[in-house]
Every structure is written in structure tokens, then in C-alpha cells.
Chain A
Amino acid sequence: MYAFDFVRPKSLNEAVEALQPEEAMALGGGQTLIPTLKQRLASPSKLVSLKGVEEIRGICRDDQGRVCIGGGTTHAEVAAGVPEYPALAALAANIGDPAVRNRGTIGGSLANNDPSACYPAAALASGATIVTNTREIAADDYFEGMFMTALEEGEIITEVRFPVPQAANYQKFEQPASRFALVGVFVAKFEDGVRVAVTGASEEGVFRWTEAEEALSSNFSPDAVQGLSVPAEGMIGDLHGSPEYRAHLVGVMTRRAVAAAG
């Protein structure tokens, strides 16, 4: 990697300040950024580690009953810390391997918005709110395509607030090499309707499958989506699967998620 300065602020304000220079980058758990640096594909002048910022770490509940997860909370902490939202806990428990789960953070994952990552599906299907040091962003407004988000330069995800659905499930079909989602579908049933978010499949990144949402909102059963499919056009095609295969898996994983959600 190239040389850089390294700071480890203790507070959010210090972190925001440290991120002011244009070439500064925030470092969460480093599960994407560190390999990128090692390959010399990024050259920040300064890395601002968020590991020391205790105020953006931990899990609590707000007065609306939402699960509020600090941006610096690790996958392992989420896996063990959200018993009232088992689908979210299970998703976190199945990201990467123990080393990844003990370092990687929810804020880092959502800020990176890898098109094959798991958390974007959970945030979008749950209708979560992404809270930053400056504002609150609805998940529907947050994801803007592969590796693209509504975050501004230097903006830090401090918290993610998840409404807890009546029933939910995440089905991940793993890419055999990376074990990221080749296709991942998160289904969440709320009192006022069902939300379905798909990761891994689309060239536009995570997306909501509205056709399935409508069908499931009137009949929450695998049969309701049996005949539905997403078009292959716009799906990712690579070594691990054609667009047609990914489109097919979206249907299969959605049905399985609905069945498992019960």
C-alpha cells in the first residue's frame, strides 16, 4: 500500500473534523478498504479509523420500537444483539467468516454498497433509516447503484434504524468463490405491506422487486410469487452466472424467503 497518515479519533466530532481534507477516507472494519489499499487501488492521504468512536457503536431500541444499530457495530455484534429481529441477526451471522464478522461493520458495508453485499438488502427491505452525522436518509433514497450511495464526502453513518417486521427472512444463494450473494433476497412483512429487496443480481445494485411486493401484500405465501419473474435484462452476467440464471434465482430465493418467514 501507499503511505498515509492514520488517526483514530475518540469522538464523532473529531472524526468529522479529521475527514475534512479531500484525500482523507473513513476506515470502518476495513474488510473492503484494506485489501483495496494492499492492491494499491486507493491512495488516501489519511485514514480516519472509526474504531475508537464509541458513540456510533452498539444496539438500542427507540420509542417507535425500531432496532437502532450504531454504524460502527460489527456483524458479530448484530448477530448476537438483535433477538427481536431474527432475520437480521441471521443475515449478520452469515456474512463472510468469523474474522470478517468481528471486524466488519454495518456502517462500512452500507457506505460501500457492494452490489453483492447482504446488508443493503436488509436495509432496503426493512425500510430502514440511515442516520449520518448530518441527516437522516430513508433507505429508498439511499442506494444509488453499484458502490453508489446518497452519502456526501466526509459524511459518516452513525446509526441504522430498522423497523421490526411481523415476519421476515433473508435467503442468500452464495457465489461459490467469494461466498458473497450471487443472489440474495430479503423479504419483510409489515402491517401495511410486504417489502422485497434483492442484492447480488442487478447491475444497478440492490433493488426492490415491487411486483412481488404487491402480490405478497395481498397473499403472503410462496404461491403468490410462483408465476412471477424479474427480467434478465439488467441482471449481472459473469463467470458465476448468466443474467437469466440470476433472474431465475431471484424468483427461487423469494419463494424460499417467504416460505421460511412463515
Chain B
Amino acid sequence: MPKDHGIGAASKRREDVRFLTGTGNYTDDINLPRQLYVHFLRSDIAHGEIRHIDTSTAEGMPGVKRVFTGKDFEGVGGLPCGWQVTDRHGAPMQEPAHPVIAQGKVRHVGEILAAVVADSRERARDAAEAIEFDIAELPAVVDMKAALASDAPKVHEDLTSNLCYDWGFVEDNRDKVDEAIRTAAHVTTLELVNNRLVANPMEPRVAVGDYHRATDESTLYTTSQNPHVIRLLMGAFVLGIPEHKLRVVAPDVGGGFGSKIFHYAEEAFVTFAARQLGRPVKWTSTRSEAFMSDAHGRDHVTKIELALDADHNFTAIRTETHANMGAYLSTFAPSVPTWLHGTLMAGNYRTPAIYVNVKAVFTNTVPVDAYRGAGRPEATYQLERVIDKAARELGVDPVELRRKNFVTEFPYATPVAVEYDTGDYNATMDKLAEIADFAGFEARRKESEARGKLRGLGVNCYIEACGIAPSNLVGQLGARAGLYDAATVRVNATGSISVMVGAHSHGQGHETSFPQVIAEMLGIDESQVDIVHGDTSKIPFGMGTYGSRSIAVCGSAMVRATEKVIAKAKKIAAHLLEASEADIELKDGQFTVAGTDKSVAWGDVTLAAYVPHNYPLEDIEPGLEETAFYDPANFTFPAGAYACEVEVDPETGKVTIERFAAADDFGNVINPMIVDGQVHGGLAQGIGQALLENCAYDANGQLVSASYMDYAMPRADDVPFYAVDHSCQTPCTHNPLGVKGCGEAGAIGSPPSVVNAVIDALHSGGHKVAHIDMPLTPSRVWAAMQG
């Protein structure tokens, strides 16, 4: 019998009432008295030297308050990078300055050249068109390998080259891996591209800056996944505003997928300009601006080699990746191809020797940073593609080859520095075989063939490191921040509870799932608990939401704080019941003296805490509010197995996904309906990457796919009805809820199975195609079939 309450119940998402009835409060809904508007003049040249900017005409136009250029920001800090990677020779990465407004040069299409603040959006835009500028165009570097040529134009002339870093991991494994590959019975090699993507959250970015001269306080309202991170970065590194004078509010946010983690120039600008002008300043991104100013995702070019012995045991993996950083280092960009990628290269398999080399490269393109999965999809994709290719070369069943090499004993220390605490990869594969109906595939293939279509089945496994992250560990790896989280559980006098959390919900359903945990712990109704998030003036210092971390890290903090509340409430109850604290039990919202019928209700205890007339004031303080910070001991390791079944139209190359099944192990699950939804969304994004989405530049650095006319987002009819299952549960061993996180799994786990399925379909039609790079558009599949 499924639960209807507390942990494990499919409680309906309470936040949907406001989202579905148009009563949410998004950043663009915030309009302040005397508000001004900024229009950013953005470069339409990828690389050029700014010779001259004349704003005088623009400044005299109707409604214009002021025009800002790079000169106005000469004394202001640049946008900081939050992660320093050390290269394989021990040197720090090359870290260029990242100005709020371009200074001297423009380095990508979309970079801000000037900003016009006026009393309306249209007037600001009118004036922006009157800005005269002279930019001497320089040759653009777009292709990563070309960017590393010795005579390539430099994106940053003060750096020695376009190489940000050359990272080796684990450097000590290098010789061992080389030797294993040299002596292997079989080596499968695959070169592939992990295509550049645009995150495209439904809500474009918005920022409103406000300043009160009387109190010297600045407020930034912004579309962020992590308001405290923005406060820290912008206050300390860009504008020099002490934290007690800076408030960052991220109200309802319409999706982020990573792109709203980072601190952006527009946020710093509106906060700065509001202080300068003494009036609120608002910016609302258009979709066109989003394409050229939101950080992009992925964009790796990789060569992977998998060595096997004569019995088909994996003996070594060697990979070389070029990772595109774009023109500047976005907030967490250096960590994505390194620590979020190399550490996952073991996958679900026992491979004794692994070496990962990553060259991060500057190009004249929009900065690239974390996008749903961030590094882990890139690791999963290459590994699961090369295993499939190996199985085909060796003539063995790709599922059996995987099973043969599964990690089966836990904890398991990989050769790439992480230790998997728990898992059961055979169990998820067994479940997958059942829900994907492997047994019925051949019959379905014949039925497709009868209709002139090629049918293929593709399978892959995945593992991800979530619950980001142990602070001391990431500190050693170059993070310039801690990655704990925090929660304050404020019990009100009549027993209702407000929980202030550092996590930020922008589609994840925290307002529903977090109360389920507290309701379970206290035995009270979920409706008695509300979550407060997204405002640094209300919540404790938490690090926000990304990396499938919210329930695993912030949820754990909430559990710890609730445990403190329970401990104190038991003391109060013991006093009220005239019993020993050790004898007090809490069940179903009642404190009972063990072995007796003496009890006192939750609400009576909370009232006593705030109306302490009969209260042990000499022993404990009044009130009932506790805060906990939680720093995880390890990552969590969600894992699973996915299967995709496609039909390919051999005449046109068009791929149709007929079936998709996902068997995930997320450990314990708080709300299975929300987990289903997270998996569905992730699968849509993974399928989008595999079949549709492609952020493309031409050789001059012009963004070719700059709108939905050319950038193909998955639509409802591009994806099938999914079979998802998360009944295989090996609880996380090191956090109090036994949870692992589910937000990114779908996007990480799905691209390889889609591509594996298409390759399988083509082979069934006699097309010996080894690989096609994503997205597998009809034209690419057709071209591959032509040989």
C-alpha cells in the first residue's frame, strides 16, 4: 500500500497551484517605484579591437539617464571564477580578466559593449542604436584544435596561448594505462563530439537592482539557482559591497538547468547602476539575448580508448578531451571537464587503470559552463558509446559485456579518486530488461521491417556523483567555495513550522517534498510545514541547487536541524509530563512517556516553548528554532540502466523514438511522483541533445543557431511515453535520509542509449556505421548511410 503522507508519498506539488494559475512571483513580476530599464548593446562581432565608442548622441535622447561603457567599470572588479584547476605540470590554469562591460576588445558575439539606462525599454533600445562605435575586426578562433595552433589568434593577448589548462588525471596512472593499452588483447577507439547546447529555461534571465541611500543597502532580484553564491561573488569580488549591505533575492524561477548558477555581468550591472543612479534598474533578457549571453553547455571533443583482455575484462581506459571554455571563464567552468568529468570515467565498471587528459581551450564563443549533469553526461556518453562499439567489434552482447565488468562489491574505490559507497548495477539492469521488454524486441524489429523501417535497441548504464560536495575535498581540488548547505527549522508557537533552506527550488518541487520529511519525523501534517527559500535576508547561508544536491545536502541539514528541535522539544515535554527526558517518545505528533498513557501533544509543547509559564527556564531557553549546516562526507552515487528503442526511416534518415525505459537507483525516494517528473524532464533534455539540439557557430564566430527557428528544442511529440522505475534502492550510506538525488540522471543517462539504438538500427539494415555525432538529425543519419 503506497503511503499517502510523509516520506515515500506521492504528495501533489503544492507550488503548482500558483504556477498553473499564473500567480507565481517571478523576477520579471517585480517592478519597483521609479524603476529604470537597461538595454545592453551587444557585440555582433566575435573578435575585435574596440577603437572608439561615442555615446554622446545616445545620451541626449529622450528618457535616457545614462550610458555606461567599459570605462565606467575600470575601477570595478571583474566577474570571478569559482574554481581553479591546476594543470598536469603543477601550474595554475590561465585565468583571464572577465570585465562586466567589454574593455578594449570584444571576444564573443553577445558580449556587452555598452549599457543604456532609460525610463523605458524601448527608449533605452532606441538610444543604444544611436551609439557610434568603431571595432577593428580580428580573426576569430572557433575550432578548439585550431585555437591551439602556435600561430592561432589569441583570444586574450595577455595569456601565453588559448590553452586554459592541460589537465591529467590521475597523472600517476599515465604510464600504467599506456602499458595496459599497448599489451591489450583488444583496443576499441572512438572519436566523438559532445555537442554544445543552450540551456533554454522557460524563463529567460532577469535582474533588478535596487539601492537605498539612507541605509546604504543594495538589493538584487535575480533569476538565480543560488542567491547566496551570487551575494558572495558579486559583493566580495565585483562591487565590494559588504554582505550585511547586500541582499540577493531569487523568487520564483522558471527553470535553470545550471545556466542560472553563475554570476553574470547583467546582475553586477543593475546593482552597480542602481547605486550610481539612485533608482532601481531592471533588465529582462529577450530569448535572442539568452542564446548569446546565457552560459552554454557541453562542447567537448574526445578520443577514448578502451582496452580489454582476451576474456573481455576491461583493463584500461585512456581519454583525451578538448573542452571549450568560450571566451571567458564562467563561474564554475573549469571544474566541469575536470573534477565533474574525469572522476566519473570508471562508470559502473571495474577498470583498474584509467587516465583522463583534458585540454581546456579559449575560443571566441559564449562562455561554457555547467548544464544539467555537467561533465558527468560527457563521461557517460563516451564510455557507454565505446563499450557498445567494443561489443560490436568483438561480436558479443553489449548488455552481457557490461554485466561482466560491473562493479559488484561496495564500497568500491575507483582508480579516478572517488569511492562508490553502494549500488547494485545488476539489479537495475534486471529491472530494465523487464520494463523495456528486451524479450519482445526481435518481434518488434520484424514488425518495423515489415513497414520498411529499421528498428534498433540501445542500452547504457550510468553513474553520477551527486550530492555535491564534501567541502574539504573540493577545496583540495580547487573550489573557491564550500559546498555544504544549511537549514533553519523555525517552529511557531502553535506548532506550524517554517523551514528556511539554502537550497533553491526552480522546478524541483522542494516546497512539497521537504515538508514531507519533517512531517514524517514529527508525525504532523505536511500542511503544517512551509519552506522559505531564495532570499539571503531570510535564509541561512546555503549554496543553492545544482548537482542533484538539494535533498541529499540541504535535506540532510534540515534533518539535523529537526533532530535538534526534537531533542529540545523532548526536554520541554519531559518537564510538562514530569518524566525523565530519556523516557519521552515522539510518535504521530504526540510526546508520550514510554510504557504509560501519559502524553502531551506537539502543539502543547511548542506553545510552552513560546509561552514559558510552566517551563524549565533554568535549564533551557524559550523558543523552538534550530539551524544546522551539513557538509557531506562523500558524494552520492545514483546509478541506473536505460534503454532506447528507435525506428529509422531508411529513405530520409529520420529517427523516431518508439520506446524509452529508465531503471534508476536513487536510494530512498521522498516523493516518487516528483522523482518521476525529474526523470521525465531529464530524459527529454537528453533526447534533445541526442537527436535535436545543436548550438552551432560558423568559422567567423557567428552563432548560426541563434533562435528557435534553427535551434531545435524537443517538443512533446519528439519524445515517447517513458517507462521509468526507481524501485531498485540501495540507500546512500552516509546521509541521514539515505537519498542520492535524481535531478540530472535523465539527462546524463539518455544520450548514449539513443545513439546506440540508432547505430543498432543502421546495422540491422546492413549499414556498417560505427558512429554518428550528436545530434542525430535526419541529414546526418542519411549522410552516414551513404557511407
On A, residues with C-beta under 8 Å from B are: 39-40, 173, 176-178, 182, 239-242, 245, 248-249, 252
Contact = CB atoms under 8 A, between A and B. Distances in A.
B779 A241 contact: yes
B782 A239 contact: no
Given A176-B778, A248-B782, A239 B705 contact: yes
Interface stretch (B224-232, B270-278, B438-446, B709-717): B709-717
B783 interface: yes
B704 A249 contact: no
A177 B779 CA distance: 13
A176 B777 contact: yes
B696 interface: yes
A177 B711 CA distance: 6
A177 B709 contact: yes
Given A39-B288, A173-B652, A239-B705, A245 B779 contact: yes
B652 A240 contact: no
A242 B783 contact: yes
A245 B783 contact: yes
B777 A249 contact: no
Contacts of A40: 125, 129
A245 B712 CA distance: 19
B652 A176 contact: no
Contacts of A182: 778
Nearest to B705: A239
B158 interface: no
A177 B782 contact: no
Nearest to B649: A252
A192 B782 CA distance: 36
Contacts of B288: 39
- The 4 A-B pairs with the shortest beta carbon distances in the complex, nearest first, are A177-B712, A241-B779, A176-B712, A178-B709
Given A245-B783, A248-B782, A240 B777 contact: yes
Given A178-B710, A241-B779, 5 more contacts: A173-B652, A177-B705, A177-B708, A177-B711, A240-B710
Contacts of A178: 708-710
Main secondary structure on chain B at its contact with chain A? loop
B692 interface: yes
B694 A239 contact: yes
B623 to A, nearest CB: 55
Nearest to A179: B715
Residue of A245, A249, A252 contacting most chain B CB atoms (<10 Å): A245
B655 to A, nearest CB: 10
Contacts of A242: 779, 783
B618 interface: no
A176 B777 CA distance: 8
B651 interface: yes
A240 B704 CA distance: 11
A252 B651 contact: yes
16 contacts: A40-B125, A40-B129, A176-B691, A176-B778, A177-B692, A177-B708, A177-B710, A177-B711, A239-B704, A239-B710, A240-B777, A241-B778, A245-B778, A245-B779, A245-B783, A252-B651
Contact of B692 (A173, A176, A249): A176
B754 to A, nearest CB: 14
B748 to A, nearest CB: 23
A233 to B, nearest CB: 17
A240 B779 CA distance: 7
A40 B288 CA distance: 13
Contacts of B783: 242, 245
Interface in B687-709: 691-692, 694, 696, 704-705, 708-709
